[in-house]
Amino acid sequence: MRQKIVAGNWKMNKTMPEAQALSSEVMGMVSSEVTTNTKVVLCVPFPFLPVIKYLLGKSSVAVGAQNCSEHDWGAYTGEVSALMLKSMDIPYVILGHSERRQYFGEDGKLLVKKIDKALAAALTPIFCCGEPLEVREKGTHDTLVRQQVEEALFHLSAESLKKVVIAYEPVWAIGTGKTATSQQAQEMHAVIRKQLASKYGDTIAQEISILYGGSVNSKNAQELFSCPDVDGGLVGGASLKSREFVDIIKAMK
């Protein structure tokens, strides 16, 4: 059975003391919510990783990064490699978030390299895909999302693909308060799973967790997570408040 995951994407928010307080609160509230088949991840800014990792200790909450370099080492000022994350035992890394695509020009070619580096370092990539509003309005969202998935992931072997988590995040729903309806989310998740099945077979496609992201909150989470192909969420704004985030985690059941 595939894993249900709720991952918080803090983006570039919080000071160190605030980060420690938020992580402690989440950890304190979720212990009983997390079962063997569910996972909670806090994707925090790079500088906080070791401290939050230490603070979470052996609790049921894992920590993740929000990006990594396509290089291993070298003269790339300001970058952080997958090997560095691995050396700190960081298990997850978000890759291809729409904000990275939009503000930092990340495209499919670059994401192939990043995904490969993350997997080579035994990290679990949370690979993001999703269409902007104008594409949704044109009705070509299926085509674009399928293209994003194919470009970044279809060079992988089945064994490697099984280690990837996919997050479908329609760009028009990110940070806007305008969530996709559960029907829109389910439709797109089913499209992605079908696409995975056509390349890797149904058994593998059924094992891949596909998360929904875009204005998930404690009010809409339950309906979204109850869709058959929605395996949890990637949560931005609502992961910055402990109570709200924990209520979203509870909706995974």
The catalytic residues are: 97, 169
Assigned token pair, 16? 């160190």
Assigned token pair, 250? 């509870």
Residue with tokens 């875009």: 214
Q: Which of 64, 125, 170, 213 binds ligand PGA (CB under 6 A)?
A: 213
Q: By the 8 A CB rule, do 16 and 243 touch?
A: no
Q: Which stretch binds ligand PGA (CB under 6 A): 100-108, 136-144, 195-203, 213-221?
A: 213-221
Q: Which stretch binds ligand PGA (CB under 6 A): 62-70, 72-80, 85-93, 212-220?
A: 212-220
Assigned token pair, 220? 């809409």
Could you say which residues in the range 7-26 bind ligand PGA, by CB under 6 A? 9
- Rounded Cα–Cα distance for residues 224 and 237 (Å): 17
Q: Does 232 bind ligand PGA (CB under 6 A)?
A: no
CB of 175 to ligand PGA, least distance (A): 4
Q: Which of 126, 234, 246, 252 binds ligand PGA (CB under 6 A)?
A: 234
Q: Which stretch binds ligand PGA (CB under 6 A): 54-62, 117-125, 157-165, 208-216?
A: 208-216
Q: Does 175 bind ligand PGA (CB under 6 A)?
A: yes
Return the closest-CA partner of residue 176 out of 217, 218, 128, 222.
217
Q: What is the contact mask toward ligand PGA in residues 127 to 166, using x (rule: CB under 6 A)?
A: ----------------------------------------
C-alpha torsion angle, residues 109, 112, 114, 120 (rounded to 10): -150
Q: Does 169 bind ligand PGA (CB under 6 A)?
A: yes
Using CB under 6 A, count the residues that bind ligand PGA: 13
Q: Which is nearer to ligand PGA, 125 or 237 (CB)?
A: 237
CB of 199 to ligand PGA, least distance (A): 25
Radius of gyration of the chain (CA): 17
* Sign, Cα dihedral of 32, 55, 174, 124: negative
DSSP 212: E
Q: Which of 65, 220, 236, 246 binds ligand PGA (CB under 6 A)?
A: 236
C-alpha torsion angle, residues 146, 149, 150, 153 (rounded to 10): -170
Q: Does 170 bind ligand PGA (CB under 6 A)?
A: no
Q: How many CB atoms lie within 10 A of CB 201?
A: 11
Q: Does 96 bind ligand PGA (CB under 6 A)?
A: no
* Sign, Cα dihedral of 73, 11, 128, 137: negative
Residues forming the site for ligand PGA (CB under 6 A): 9, 169, 174-175, 213-216, 234-238
